[in-house]
Structure 1
Amino acid sequence: MLSDIISAHAPLKIVSLRLNLAAIDFRLMKVFPAFNIIEAGLRNGEIGPNTTIVETSSGTMALALAIVCMQFSLKLHIFGDRAIEPPLKRTMQELGAEVHIVDATASNGNVQLLRKNALLEFVDRTRATWSRQYDNLANRLSYARPAAEAIREFGEIDVLVAAVGSGGSSCGLAHYCRAFFPKMKLVGIDTFGSVLFGQPVGRRDLRGLGNSILPGNLFHQAFDEIHWLGANEAYQAAHRLHRETSLKRGPTSGAAYLVAKWYAELSPKSKVLAVFPDDSNRYEQNIYDPGWMQANGYQAELAATEPVLVPHPLHADNGWCRFNWSRRSLAEVMGINIPRTEA
């Protein structure tokens, strides 16, 4: 059972947005996998009272682990990059975590590999335990509870729309929901320059989804369709979500809203559920700041408002693109044997 304090960080609501569209609305979604990973490790003996936990993250997984490790009195070291803003870093440090910033820009296509290498060097030197959010099955399994709550409140789900990073939430929610609704369509959202669905690694202005490492928790055969969004599209979608629903959320939630609303309008008889991973706290000084948006060239009139259907992932290059994945493996889609990188 989640403790009362951890539960306070992990409330979830099923919010109706229109007749056939709703959202699983989290305050801090990654508390679920963070707790499940640590609790499972304590239960099976892989983690003891004096174990030091390490993880590579520059976002909400880092914060969630800081919360959970504080509750279990465990030492935590986070290896991140400049995407960790000073307020987030201070918050984690106040919770007892040590934060290591890898010397690479937030848009560096290989920043996650650099973070991983720094983490591995630390593990070799200290014998710390890596929580391995990308490969740890406890990540995917942690989404049974949110899925059960969604089914209880929303009923049958025809289309589930989720951003993809580690593969934990999208594949975990889909696995549980399909036990009840096997025909449910899973729509994943990625960004350009992410390797998750066949694109070469490259610069990613949009953070919070996508990856430069192929995680073990990503099960490609679960997905029916993939959408790629640029940063401007996701940022403008977050503003649209706020204007149209009063829900002020981050760009990952905005991306899910944009794609899910498009599906709901395209198929008015289908019940569409979007995943909103976190709130807007990290984004008040950037995407919700008009000066920052203007200075960085993000303009509403430049954002794509409809997806372009592409014949292959390598044809998805900017704006908003979609591809019929059709529950195939990555190798089947790409036509080559692709090794899975250990995260």
Structure 2
Amino acid sequence: MHAHIAEAVKKPDLISLEPDLACLRFETMKIYSALGAVRHLLETGAVEPGDTLIDSSSGIYAQALALACHRYGMKCHIVGSTTVDRSTRVQLEILGATLEQVAPSKNLRLDQELRVRRIAEILAANPSYHWMRQYHDAIHYHGYREVAEQIDEGIPAGPLALVGGVGSGASTGAIGTYLREAGRDVTLVGVQPFGSVTFGSEHVADPDMIIAGIGSAIAFQNVRHELYDRVHWVNFESAVSGAVSLLRTSGIFAGLSAGASYLSALWERRRDDTRTYVFIAADTGHRYVESAYARHQQALDIDTLKPHEITSLDELKHPWSTTAWPPVTS
């Protein structure tokens, strides 16, 4: 029996799609990050029960941190973007978390900068608050050790490839690190949207991009670039096509980052069939119904899609590019 709902919903399902291809499907992956970080802060005495934890979020991490604070008796304040939907806002309110949303912005970079600026103002007025810094603090790696253990136990011994969104770096980077520490031969494949500064695609815009959770318009300090062996940049249309195909062929209803990761995993498997491929579905598809899944009749046949193999970031282009990391010409 679980002591709290956060413990119940955090564990992912490892689903076999083919003998050498599996999906690690989460209801919401960032609960691991939030629970692990809050637990570590309490154990080390950095915070005490009843303290206020604050962070920025576009939605998913807000819910995760609110649940972690509810689990451990903490107060929670979120500075959110305008993308935080009504469902999340209502849940935060009932859970006792407070939310303030920044003014609408023309682009992701400005939105993220406004949120960080607002956090600085709040901390100046409330120095007892603890900033979780999900984008910058390596403390968010801690919670993913358990995920790595589940993969290690569920996937037969042998070479493994982990494919998933880079995001803040505290998911794929952490899981890959812990798997390697356990002795697994792991190729780590990071997935990015165009326009993200994390792996240098900020010069290639994608106006339709709504998968900000796997990329960034500002530098994330907890992304360890040296952990990644390959990187894929996938645009909105291709991610939608991947997500629709994943639902149609497997029944897995997941977010757009899962669609992009599914495409990338299939391509990597064509390149090297000596490994078992595990791709991450970090959240469910509910928040993407109107913006993506409703377009399913326009989704492309993924068998007709293939990435541009590049050797320099100057060669990046839509709809999909990939390279070994670091590129030959950087």
Per the normalisation by structure 2, the TM-score is: 0.91
CA distance in 2, matches of 1:301, 1:147: 33
Judge conservation of contact 1:37–1:139 (CA < 8 Å) in 2. Answer: yes
Alpha-carbon offset, residue 229 of structure 1: 0.7
The aligned counterpart of 2:237 is 232
Alpha-carbon offset, residue 157 of structure 1: 4.0
The aligned counterpart of 2:294 is 289
1:211 aligns with 2:216: yes
Alpha-carbon offset, residue 11 of structure 1: 2.1
Look up the equivalent residue of 1:300 and give its one-letter code: A
What's the RMSD between the two structures over aligned residues?
Answer: 2.3
Q: Any gaps of 5 or more consecutive residues in structure 1?
A: 335-343
The aligned counterpart of 1:139 is 140
Alpha-carbon offset, residue 178 of structure 1: 1.3
Alpha-carbon offset, residue 270 of structure 1: 1.9
Judge conservation of contact 2:109–2:218 (CA < 8 Å) in 1. Answer: no
1:262 aligns with 2:262: no
Match of 1:277 among 282, 285, 288: 282
The aligned counterpart of 1:193 is 195
Judge conservation of contact 1:66–1:76 (CA < 8 Å) in 2. Answer: yes
Moved more, 314-323 or 194-203: 194-203
For the structure 1 residues 224 and 254, does the alpha-carbon distance in structure 2 shift closer, same or farther, using more than 3 Å as the test?
same
CA distance in 1, matches of 2:301, 2:194: 17
CA distance in 2, matches of 1:333, 1:210: 22
Q: After superposition, what is the alpha-carbon deviation per residue over 1:127-184, rounded to whole angstroms, capped at 9, x for unaligned?
A: 2110111222221121111111111011234211111110001110111111244642
Judge conservation of contact 2:59–2:85 (CA < 8 Å) in 1. Answer: no
Moved more, 108-117 or 180-189: 180-189
For the structure 1 residues 175 and 138, does the alpha-carbon distance in structure 2 shift closer, same or farther, using more than 3 Å as the test?
same
Q: Any gaps of 5 or more consecutive residues in structure 2?
A: none
The aligned counterpart of 1:178 is 180
Alpha-carbon offset, residue 203 of structure 1: 6.0
Q: After superposition, what is the alpha-carbon deviation per residue over 1:63-120, rounded to whole angstroms, capped at 9, x for unaligned?
A: 1001111222322111121111222222222211111111133743332111101111
CA distance in 2, matches of 1:287, 1:269: 33
CA distance in 2, matches of 1:157, 1:143: 20
Judge conservation of contact 2:311–2:329 (CA < 8 Å) in 1. Answer: no
Alpha-carbon offset, residue 277 of structure 1: 0.8
CA distance in 1, matches of 2:41, 2:180: 27
Superposed structure 1 runs of 4+ greater than 6 Å apart: none
Secondary structure class of the residue paired with 1:76? strand
Judge conservation of contact 1:82–1:106 (CA < 8 Å) in 2. Answer: no
Judge conservation of contact 2:241–2:300 (CA < 8 Å) in 1. Answer: no
Look up the equivalent residue of 2:168 and give its one-letter code: S
Judge conservation of contact 1:198–1:314 (CA < 8 Å) in 2. Answer: no
Alpha-carbon offset, residue 58 of structure 1: 0.7
Look up the equivalent residue of 1:169 and give its one-letter code: S
Q: Percent identity?
A: 27
Alpha-carbon offset, residue 27 of structure 1: 1.3
CA distance in 1, matches of 2:73, 2:181: 36
Moved more, 155-164 or 144-153: 155-164
Q: After superposition, what is the alpha-carbon deviation per residue over 1:247-293, rounded to whole angstroms, capped at 9, x for unaligned?
A: 11111111111111222233333211111111122223332224xx7
For the structure 1 residues 203 and 309, does the alpha-carbon distance in structure 2 shift closer, same or farther, using more than 3 Å as the test?
closer
